Structure 1
């Protein structure tokens, strides 16, 4: 009797569980329930079919992307697919990635401490090399604290996720880096975007989202345009609306401002105006990784709550040691910034004399407007045939109709190389015609 009651109770619980899972129980048989589920028609999109359709659409619009394999590097030259090309599309602005002190620091630390970070910072992955780099960055950038991350993308996700949530707001420049946009979206806050470099537009957007916390986020130097954000005007807008100002200095650190301290320092803004900013280690500093620098309370909060920091393995100590050496060189060797500034002036002057349409920029990023995607690709190919590697940048990385060649200069380049590049650009510009204007519709 007891066994029979127990058996009946078990059957009732099993049937209830199957019904809860959306399966109809037929006489207690899981086989019948499984057959019933298979007989139901599910209207679902096959991801592979969607991917194929999207790829075909991108191909029709000259927007397929492909990786190129670099086999060797020697200064500003790269061996790509068996050919040596002069690289004018990288981000090694100060030429530190192959500098012997940086490379030696990496090799010495790897030989002593191994190749990996082995754990997250909060478990057992925080090494003396990480601590030394954070202290050096904080001292250089005149901030109380710095916090290392695996990449700039992760750092921006971390800041947005840790500081914002539902009911809060993030106001951003229309041309901000994708990581800032994605971070705001993932945080669940209200994302508002203002016209590029428009401080009045930023103020209007801040006013449109009252209540909750707010962050005003902008790139310091914009990666695809090379121009500098109006940071002083934006800081006034943030202060007026009690918003925290956050500046992504990925393309500014090492290159702009006194001692290479970035666009915030160039704008003469203090910590009270910009309490938090991002710096990357993989561009002007020639390594890999990133750090967020700022006030002690904000950095402490990120270290304890930012998921991209808490739940990921620390950078290898060898990379941190290499970046420490690079920071020390960037602080000390002012000639690198001076040479780079001279190359920028030389390039822009020569391009102007040849009638090339450059976007307004006084930084190492010098975009040449092409218009159509196909023209940008054709000009890039023409340059490669002459021995120059200049990347074609197309939508969605840049707005529709604004495809361009993104020329980037480095302290590794020489005057003669810059002069020769301008001549090659002029030839490509003349040989590849701009896209034809659409024919006018009668009566339109």
Structure 2
């Protein structure tokens, strides 16, 4: 690594509001490496049913006992923890914002359950950083910093338009990961160009919070327009808005029709989402305009109408 990597890690720690941070080559590597460094045989990890594949893979590779709980269902999590074998480290892992649904993890209640069962809480901020919270700092800021997580992780390839993954926490945690997270220890450092791009993007995020205000407003407006027109958007409350089509074939048809009408929405089908919940995943950005949002909503609604997917 070079001094640029140290600058990036310091900036990540500042944005994450933590003592220290470490940067991996990808978000996938960050999850796999961090989970494997925190838990192993004899430990138990509790994972939301809709958690990202990198979290699931990291849990399986760690050798720890893996227990899944229903999506955003903290009561079910509590019951699973009560039924689990005692002993070892207990780790709960959730996405802050779920990539396919755009809904937010119930952080305050998760913290309560973890504290009651002496478990660590880890959040993946991949789709939260730059998107939720008053200034885009993620799920803790979204909940007015009423609670904190033990391990905060994210990517540099979503709202931050570069490459890489990161973990932020105490100096003790980050020091441990530098020597115990194998994807960090045995991989080349992030390319300097990617590190530099990520560093500048993080600085822009802190310097221009109005970008976050715009993206939150556009997400709400797009969701309101398509919902009012008869499209299902699930429980989305962020800039990630699913347009639920139903079958895989219906999602492909909707994407093809929408493209013909001048808008692009990429289909997400099984096994990435549950059967009969295939959808187009739409993400608004701060670079869009009010006119863009209205045009896109109109085009997607027209496409859905042609495909027979509008409610009522």
Asked whether the two chains share a fold, i.e. TM above 0.5, the reply is yes
Superposed, 1:68-79 pairs within 5 Å as none
Structure 1 residue 228 corresponds to structure 2 residue 128: no
SS at match of 1:345: helix
Q: Equivalent of 1:412, from 284, 287, 291?
A: 287
Task: For residue 269 of structure 1, report the CA deviation from its aligned partner.
Answer: 4.3
Instruction: Work out whether residues 226 and 367 of structure 1, in 8 Å CA contact, stay in contact via their aligned partners in 2.
Output: yes
Runs of 4+ in 1 over 6 A off after TM superposition: none
User: Residues of 2 paired with 1:217 and 1:428: CA distance?
Assistant: 37
Please report the TM-score for the alignment, with normalisation by the length of structure 2.
Answer: 0.95
Please report the TM-score for the alignment, with normalisation by the length of structure 1.
Answer: 0.68
Instruction: Work out whether residues 232 and 269 of structure 1, in 8 Å CA contact, stay in contact via their aligned partners in 2.
Output: no
User: Residues of 2 paired with 1:341 and 1:254: CA distance?
Assistant: 10
Change (3 A) 1:268 1:341: closer
Give the aligned partner of residue 93 of structure 1.
Answer: none
Task: For residue 373 of structure 1, report the CA deviation from its aligned partner.
Answer: 0.5
* Residue deviations 1:108-155 (CA, integer Å, cap 9, x gap): xxxxxxxxxxxxxxxxxx111100011111122220110000111000
Give the aligned partner of residue 185 of structure 2.
Answer: 310
Instruction: Work out whether residues 220 and 264 of structure 1, in 8 Å CA contact, stay in contact via their aligned partners in 2.
Output: no
Q: Equivalent of 1:149, from 15, 20, 24?
A: 24
Query: How many correspondences in the alignment?
Result: 308
Instruction: Work out whether residues 288 and 319 of structure 1, in 8 Å CA contact, stay in contact via their aligned partners in 2.
Output: yes
Instruction: Work out whether residues 155 and 278 of structure 1, in 8 Å CA contact, stay in contact via their aligned partners in 2.
Output: yes
Superposed, 1:15-414 pairs within 5 Å as 126-209=1-84, 210-269=86-145, 273-414=148-289
Change (3 A) 1:146 1:267: same
User: Residues of 1 paired with 2:82 and 2:199: CA distance?
Assistant: 41
Structure 2 residues not aligned, in runs of 5+ = none
Structure with bigger gyration radius: 1
Task: For residue 259 of structure 1, report the CA deviation from its aligned partner.
Answer: 2.3
User: Residues of 2 paired with 1:265 and 1:300: CA distance?
Assistant: 25
* Residue deviations 1:332-379 (CA, integer Å, cap 9, x gap): 111211111221222122223322222222211011111111000001
User: Residues of 2 paired with 1:202 and 1:313: CA distance?
Assistant: 37
SS at match of 2:42: coil
